[in-house]
């Protein structure tokens, strides 16, 4: 395969979201990301959204991103951590992969409420922050903030 041409691989309902190929084994991250992805998928489906499970494959052993909410036009990537190094890595991956879904906005699905630093980082880079809150999901959308919503 030519790694200069990434492609979208759609996942069947029975395909596991985690662990992702090419990522260092982290059972805690895999478990929490899988749980939040499953919950978010059900949340979107209950709201009538058309959601595609996918991986963007850039190499036979490297995959990234998780969902495409076709209704909202959002590429969603789940992430267990929100420290600086993790945010930099996520920014690169999701920004690169979003170009394969046009038009699209970028969204990071976190396993917990992001810190003020993480919110500022994501807002600056125009990435939507989403996290579980009670029985639903909270979100901070930089576009809505810029519009005064």
pLDDT class for 1, splitting at 50, 70, 90? Answer: very low
Which of the given ranges, 30-34, 70-74, 102-106, 143-147, has the highest pLDDT on average? 70-74
Q: What pLDDT is stored for residue 97 in this prediction? A: 83
- pLDDT above 60 (res 127): yes
20-78 pLDDT, tens digit per residue, is: 666 666 788 778 888 899 899 999 999 999 998 887 877 766 666 788 999 999 999 99
Q: What pLDDT is stored for residue 46 in this prediction? A: 95
- Say which residues have a Cβ less than 8 Å from residue 48's Cβ, sequence separation at least 6: 71
Comparing CA positions, the residue from 111, 114, 119 lying closest to residue 28 is: 111
Are the C-beta atoms of residues 51 and 68 closer than 8 Å to each other? yes
Q: Is 117 helix (H, G, I), strand (E, B) or coil?
A: helix
CATH number belonging to domain 35-146: 3.40.1350.10
* Token pair of 24 as six digits: 């260092």
pLDDT class for 143, splitting at 50, 70, 90? Answer: confident
- Say which residues have a Cβ less than 8 Å from residue 14's Cβ, sequence separation at least 6: none
Q: What angle do CA 70, 52, 139 make, to 5 degrees?
A: 60
Q: What pLDDT is stored for residue 61 in this prediction? A: 64
Domains of the chain, residue spans? 35-146
In this prediction, residues 76-95 reach a mean pLDDT of 88
pTM above 0.95, yes or no: no
Longest dimension (CA), the chain: 46
């Amino acid at each position: 395969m030519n790694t200069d041409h990434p492609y979208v691989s759609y996942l069947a309902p029975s395909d596991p979201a985690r662990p992702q190929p090419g990522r260092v084994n982290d059972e805690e991250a895999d478990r929490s990301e899988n749980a939040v992805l499953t919950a978010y998928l059900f949340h979107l489906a209950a709201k009538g959204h058309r959601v595609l499970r996918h991986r963007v494959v850039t190499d036979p052993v490297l995959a990234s991103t998780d969902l495409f909410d076709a209704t909202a036009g959002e590429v969603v990537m789940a992430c267990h951590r929100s420290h600086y190094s993790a945010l930099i890595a996520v920014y690169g991956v999701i920004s690169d992969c979003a170009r394969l879904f046009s038009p699209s906005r970028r969204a990071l699905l976190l396993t917990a409420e992001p810190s003020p630093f993480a919110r500022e980082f994501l807002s600056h880079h125009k990435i939507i922050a989403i996290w579980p809150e009670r029985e639903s999901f909270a979100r901070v959308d930089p576009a809505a903030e810029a519009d005064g919503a």
